[in-house]
Amino acid sequence: MKPAPFTYHRPQNINEALKLVAELDNYKIIAGGQSLMPMMNFRFLMPDHIIDLNQVTELSSISKEGSFLFLGSMTRQHTIHTSAIVQESAPIITEAYSLVSHRQIRNRGTYGGSLCHLDPSSEQPCFTAALDGVIEVASKDGRREVPIAQWTAMYMTPDLAPNEIMLGAKLNIWPVTHGWSFMEYSRRHGDYAVVGVAVLVNLNKDMHIEKISLTLCGIDAAPVRLNIAETSLINHPADEEAIQTATAEIENLSNIMEDALNTADYRRHLAKTLMRRAMTVAFDRAKQRIS
Amino acid sequence: MDQRIIHISVNGKSYEREVETRRTLADFLRIDLKLTGTHLGCEHGVCGACTVLLNGHTARACLTLAVQADDCEVTTIEGLAHPDGTLSELQLAFRECHGLQCGFCTPGMLTTLTEFLNENLSPTDAEIRDAISGNLCRCTGYQAIVDATLLAARKLREKRV
């Protein structure tokens, strides 16, 4: 249970880090290390080089820029969970982090580490998708932006070239009147979700849906947005029929992932139940805030 | 072999050591510094026994490289008692309430709850259980640990006034 030998690199700034990823082969970046270190201890992974970003303080930030919230990739999960700016501008993130692992892990684990590890059951890509996140990526040659819908190249693999590093993500801030809910089912508190749901809704003065975001994790390699329901529910009352529109779309989802413990049917059942509960809470919160 | 010299303060004492970069902080503490109070259960971040305070915040010593603790302050179970050897309020409460049986999880429980009580001196039962959700105990059923934490919190509140 010890990592295989590697050469350790500790860049002090982004440019040094970008130079390293451009030059080295078979490297792994260590952010919080809370997923990478277990895999190295088990020797599932034996990289020749470890690039430690923990000294690159420029990558750790939380800021509000107009209608966007920016989370730097090396920002600790604990820092985001307890941030007043995050709580005020995107309370769904605070709610989601209360379900992310345990305090010791959140103290070290980072937002960007989770987005690059890209576990299909992780809460963090899920709320990023719910908030239409745009991921900022850099290489020696420049920067580019990747919308979250294109971020998952395949199972647990982000759209990140070997010479690139994730800088952070820009998330949409919803109107102050919006309602939200993040819920999940896991077998033990702090585990990855079997299925998780993120719901955001904003109502107009007639109490009809002005904008809605319905996202699932634990269903496919990438977070799943219920695009059909989201479009058809515009101007619809926030009621039981709206919930049924969403659960009907879940009923028709194909290719839900399966493993030894959780069948596709079970995940579908969980998704419908959690979506119903989360939409109920989000609707109530939105109604209270608009009136 | 890839090696580095690190400077690290453990329980208030400064060390300069050459370490192999693949050495975990847990192995560094146990093997290089002979501080075997930090226990290793699973070595992949699940059991919580190896939890230490890294610059005041809990971290899994098995998921941290020793080289990453360069220029950091580490507190282990050996550093929780007062310098004169008297136990901390939390340690006294664990003894009082029988908050341990075999003692394997205890170093991680105490470091975790030390951080927790630094943040919250009026915890509820549920908050304590949430705080130790990342620490596995196979003996106590957790009840005595929760009782001990409530007692320590009360004693610390009384001391404050």
Domains along chain A with CATH numbers: 7-51 (3.30.43.10), 59-172 (3.30.465.10), 179-290 (3.30.390.50)
Which positions in chain B have a beta carbon within 8 angstroms of at least one beta carbon in chain A?
A: 1-2, 4, 20-22, 24, 27, 43-45, 48, 51, 54, 57-60, 62-65, 67-68, 112, 115-116, 130-131, 133-135
One-letter identity of residue B86: T
* Whole-number percent of chain B with pLDDT over 70: 100
* Block residue for tokens 């059942």: A269
Q: Look up residue A91 and give its two tokens.
A: 């309370």
Nearest CA in chain B to A103: B131
Instruction: Compute the radius of gyration of chain A from its Cα atoms.
Output: 19
- Which of B2, B22, B133 has its CB closest to that of A102? B133
Cα A59 to Cα A35, A77, A149, A200, B49, distances in angstroms: 19, 13, 23, 28, 30
Instruction: Identify the CATH number of the domain defined by range B89-160.
Output: 1.10.150.120
Chain A contacts of B58, Cβ < 8 Å?
A: 103-104, 107
Q: Encoding tokens for residue A68?
A: 């966007």
Give B158→chain A minimum CA distance, Å: 27
Pairing mode of beta strands B3-10, B73-75: parallel
Give span(s): CATH 3.10.20.30, chain B: 3-79
pLDDT at B161 > cutoff 90: no
Q: How far is B99 from chain A (nearest CA, A)?
A: 21
A74 interfacial to chain B (CB closer than 8 Å): no
Helix (H) or strand (E) holding A84: helix A84-89
| Closest Cβ opposite residue B57 in set A6, A50, A107 | A107
CATH 1.10.150.120-classified regions of chain B: 89-160
CATH topology classification for B3-79: Ubiquitin-like (UB roll) (3.10.20)
| Predicted local confidence at residue A93, as pLDDT | 98
> In angstroms, what separates the C-alpha of A164 from chain B's closest C-alpha?
23
- Cα–Cα distance for residue pair A246/A225, rounded to 1 Å: 10
Name the strand (E) or helix (H) holding B13: strand B13-20
CB count within 10 Å of CB B155 equals 15
**Interface residue A45 vs chain B (CB under 8 A):** no
A93 alpha-carbon distance from chain centroid? 9
Neighbours of B31 (CB within 10 A): 12
The mean pLDDT values, 10 residues at a time, for chain A of 291 residues are 95 98 98 98 97 98 97 98 98 98 97 98 98 98 98 98 98 98 94 96 96 98 98 98 98 95 97 98 96 80
In this structure, which amino acid lies at residue B154? R
Task: Fill in the amino acid letter for A110.
Answer: T
What's the CA gap between B74 and B96, in Å, rounded?
27
pLDDT in tens, B51-109: 999 999 999 999 999 999 999 999 999 999 999 999 999 999 999 999 999 999 999 99
- Residues on chain B touching A48 (C-beta within 8 angstroms): none
* Interface mutation target, options A53, A77, A98, A103, chain B, most CBs of B under 10 Å: A103
Among A residues 93-152, those touching chain B with beta carbons less than 8 Å apart? 101-105, 107-108
**Sign of the CA dihedral with A246 first, then A249, A251, and A253 last:** negative
Partner residue facing B22 (CB), from A5, A38, A42: A5
Q: Compare CB distances from A52 to B24, B58, B68 and report the shortest one's residue.
A: B68
* Cβ distance of A54 and B63 shorter than 8 Å: no
Angle CA(B152)–CA(B155)–CA(B161) in degrees, nearest 5?
A: 140
Residue in A with minimal Cα distance to B48:
A104
Chain A contact set for B61 (CB, 8 A)? none
- Say yes or no for a CB contact (<8 Å) between A37 and B45: yes
**In which band, very low, low, confident or very high, does the pLDDT at B40 lie, cut at 50, 70 and 90?**
very high
Tokens coding A123? 């809460």
Task: With 0.90 as the threshold, say if the pTM is over it.
Answer: yes
Q: What is the pLDDT of residue B160?
A: 85
A232-269 residue pLDDT tens: 999 999 999 999 999 999 999 999 999 999 999 999 99
- Strands of chain A (E only): list them: 7-9, 27-30, 49-52, 62-65, 68-72, 134-139, 142-147, 152-154, 157-158, 165-172, 179-185, 195-203, 209-217, 224-225
